[in-house]
Amino acid sequence: MATFFPVGGVLVIATLLLPVSVVLGGFPAMMTLERAFPIDHRVHELSQLRARDRIRHGRMLQSSNGGGVIDFPIGGTFNPFLVGLYYTTVKLGSPPREFYVQIDTGSDVLWVGCNSCKGCPQSSGLKIQLNSFDPGSSSTASVISCSDKRCNAGYESSDSSCSPQNNQCIYTFNYGDGSGSSGYYVSDLFYLDTADGDSVTSNSSASIVFGCSTSLTGELMKPDRAVDGIFGFGQQEMSVISQLSSQGIAPKVFSHCLKGDDAGGGILVLGEIVDPNIVYTPLVPSQPHYNLNLESITVSGEKLPIDPSVFATSGSQGTIVDSGTTLAYLAEGAYNSLMDAISNAVSQYANPVVSHGIQCYSVSSSSTNIFPQVSLNFAGGASMVLGPESYLIEQDSDAVSTTWCIGFQKSDTHDLTILGDLVLVDKIVVYDLAGQQIGWADYDCSMSVNVSTTGTKSVNTDPRKVDSSLQNEALKLTPITIISFLMLISMLNSFW
């Protein structure tokens, strides 16, 4: 199960099967992640991944255009039954009860199924025991009323309303594919385990507001990858990270580092991973997603002839960082220029192959060094430099040749660029909600990391040591082995 360790101002969430060393300062919470990133599937399987990504993107656009379809909630639209799912357990209520919840960096609200839920799965193909939350069975639970100021936090994202029949603060999240979740908000205890040195005692808790779903529809009803609920990491006031931050328990910043090799794995931290190589770019303000200002793309140092207006943020146009997307998608004007540049760079060494709409290249060697470096250049001078291994996916290989496919896809919306896990793996990625910026740096995610909530960026480059500037407030927990239960379940498993 997931375990939380607030230690002298440090909150650690221990979760799954992966040894991880960390150095902590401030209030960070750390989760180890199991990652199953697809790097050797076939072209027809890539097309299925693309189809699932595009369902997700369609829901994003419907929300951005101000229509009647609402994100889950405003921070994102990740459907746990499409592409992939991270889950862990949390404890809620008095007496505490465990719930399996999806970790979703693209949504805001923590919600679990209620005991009166219509359409909630009764079993799960993940071989986990599903539970439901019963407010009447918890001595510390209280239903959020319409007049409660915390209900107003839900109003700001248009996902909450008032039920005049019972004066409850209710929510309804609808998806473009017909699935959805609805229920009411409750307040109850969220349990934390306090660590003092090497000892751990369960004697800490925080009161938070979360959703109690009474109805699920569509894909959310299916039992094959069912969990008890969703744990959102979005920007709005109703997110757990915002609530814990307002109570001084956790900072309003989180980070992740996902391994891109076959073994997978990685970490998610409620706190700021610090590294001297991290570069930052501002978030576009007043956006429902994690929007950035992408300014240009270069290939082997040459700037591509792309009209800057292609990347402008307006309505359904712009650049989004979305860990719920498997591949990466470029606006049409940018995609065509990038494909032309890559083709020109490898024309003497590779034969182009297009299958199921995927651009691939057959080469006589398994090496990727004939492919060029691609750089995505953002506002503030931050660049995301991608070597061939960051955007190529091996389709197949034999004694004669290897076929490499381009992970970048053309966006169906023509104007939207979405940077998914394809380009986020093997990097520290920091979502600084307080500072309204996102940062990243290439990193070996099997290594330990430095984490701080003080804003101190000058740290020792040895990830197993705490910088002297952090010594007075840092807890040195390295080496430490975290055994966790956070798992990635992917639709890809059905392809393997």
Q: 154-198: per-residue pLDDT in tens?
A: 666 557 888 888 999 999 877 545 678 999 999 999 986 433 333
Q: Which two tokens stand for residue 347?
A: 């024309």
Among 56-65, 390-399, 474-483, the least confident range: 474-483
Among 354-368, 446-460, 469-483, the least confident range: 469-483
Which residues is 413 bridged to in the sheet? none
Q: Are residues 92 and 189 in the same domain?
A: yes
CA–CA separation, 295 and 380 (whole Å):
10
Residue 128 covered by a domain:
yes
Q: Are residues 175 and 31 in the same domain?
A: yes
DSSP single-letter state for residue 317: B
- The band of 465, judged by pLDDT with boundaries at 50, 70 and 90, is very low
Neighbours of 82 (CB within 10 A): 22
Residue 44 covered by a domain:
no
Q: Which active-site residues does the annotation give?
A: 104, 322
Q: Are residues 357 and 402 in the same domain?
A: yes
Q: Are residues 298 and 207 in the same domain?
A: no
Q: Are residues 257 and 395 in the same domain?
A: no
Segment 96-138, tens digit of pLDDT: 999 988 777 667 889 999 998 999 999 998 888 999 999 999 9
Which residues is 374 bridged to in the sheet? 299, 386
Residue 282 covered by a domain:
yes
Residue 462 covered by a domain:
no
Residue 63 covered by a domain:
no
Residue 463 covered by a domain:
no
CA–CA separation, 267 and 24 (whole Å):
13
In terms of residue numbers, what domain contains 213? 3-37+70-269+485-494
Q: Are residues 285 and 309 in the same domain?
A: yes
CA neighbor of 193 nearest in space, from 14, 346, 452: 14
Q: Are residues 206 and 265 in the same domain?
A: yes
Q: Which two tokens stand for residue 423?
A: 């380009």
Q: Are residues 209 and 245 in the same domain?
A: yes
Residue 186 covered by a domain:
yes
CA neighbor of 193 nearest in space, from 201, 185, 184: 201
Determine what percent of the chain is predicted with pLDDT higher than 70: 67
Segment 25-73, tens digit of pLDDT: 335 555 555 433 333 344 446 666 666 565 555 544 444 433 222 122 2
The length of the chain in residues reads: 496
Q: Are residues 248 and 295 in the same domain?
A: no
Among 15-29, 193-207, 282-296, 460-474, the least confident range: 460-474
The number of domains in the chain is 2
Q: Are residues 211 and 113 in the same domain?
A: yes
Centroid of chain to Cα 166: 35
The answer to whether the beta carbons of residues 279 and 379 sit under 8 Å apart is no
| Residue whose entry in the numeric block shows the structure tokens 């719920």 | 324
Residue 53 covered by a domain:
no
In which element (H, E) is residue 335 found? helix 332-346
pLDDT at 205 exceeding the cut of 80: yes
Most confident range (mean pLDDT) of 100-104, 290-294, 363-367 is 290-294
Most confident range (mean pLDDT) of 17-21, 260-264, 442-446, 475-479 is 442-446
Q: What is the mean pLDDT of residues 204-208?
A: 87
Higher per-residue confidence, 80 vs 312: 312
Q: Are residues 228 and 306 in the same domain?
A: no
- Residue 43: predicted pLDDT: 44
- The band of 232, judged by pLDDT with boundaries at 50, 70 and 90, is confident
pLDDT at 147 exceeding the cut of 70: yes
What residues have CB less than 8 Å from 308, skipping those under 6 apart? Answer: 295, 296
Q: Are residues 210 and 307 in the same domain?
A: no
CA–CA separation, 272 and 251 (whole Å):
8
- The band of 9, judged by pLDDT with boundaries at 50, 70 and 90, is very low
- Residue 49: predicted pLDDT: 63
Q: What is the mean pLDDT of residues 404-429?
A: 88
Q: Which two tokens stand for residue 338?
A: 């990038």
pLDDT, mean over the chain: 73
Q: What is the CATH number of the domain that holds 98?
A: 2.40.70.10
